[in-house]
Amino acid sequence: MAKTVLGVLASGRGSNLQAILDAIDANQIRAEVGVVISDKPTAAALVRAKEHGIPAVCIDRKQFDSRAEFGKALAEVIEKHQVDLVVLAGFMRILDPDFIRLFSGRIMNIHPALLPSFQGLNAQQQAIDYGVRLSGCTVHFVDEGTDTGPIILQEAVPVMPDDTADSLAERILVVEHRLYPQAIALYCDGRLLSDGRKVTILSKEEQ
């Protein structure tokens, strides 16, 4: 079976990208990263990609007059590298609806909260301010809403009484680095069945 080609979009240091690369190297994911794209020229994720011999492309949002034009530029690079699954790994840009429709069912994201709670930015601070005892992370398919797509995997993380947004984020990140590769592996193995909002994980016998 051919390997799934991943296109990873990242705006920052690329720690989730590194977790995915490590899982691929350990043969836990039947995939290869075909391209890493960032909207920031100085993103460490681009450096990580180059160190692994992966094409690293910066598409600077500031160079485009609209989200739609930016989305078209992203799509051109993704199609050029024959990407099967678009993986958002700390990509801090809202995607254009046309882009989402073009790759419908083939865009995955990880969010540092137990969706549908605490959507959008600063999810860790939202959780602390609300006073919840549990937060966590969610891997989901991307739709045209903000963190509203069908949920693939979730895992809870306790919120400690003395937590700050940063300390909670670090604890959640440890789980993200394990959960995201698991979800990608399920996709690559053909074990995710989507039906509206519901995503069913097939057993190895059912796939």
Residues with catalytic function: 111
Give the integer Cα–Cα distance in Å for 177 and 186. 15
CA–CA distances in Å: residue 174 to residues 19, 121, 156, 171: 10, 19, 12, 6
| Distance from C-alpha of 11 to C-alpha of 45, rounded to nearest angstrom | 7
**Structural contact between residues 168 and 137, judged by C-beta atoms closer than 8 angstroms:** no
- Could you give the CA distance from residue 187 to residue 108 in angstroms, rounded to a whole number? 10
How many residues make up the chain in this entry? 207
Residue type, 156: A
| 192 SS3 class | strand
Q: Which residue(s) pair with 58 in the sheet? A: 38
Distances (CA, A) of 125 to 5, 114, 200: 34, 13, 31
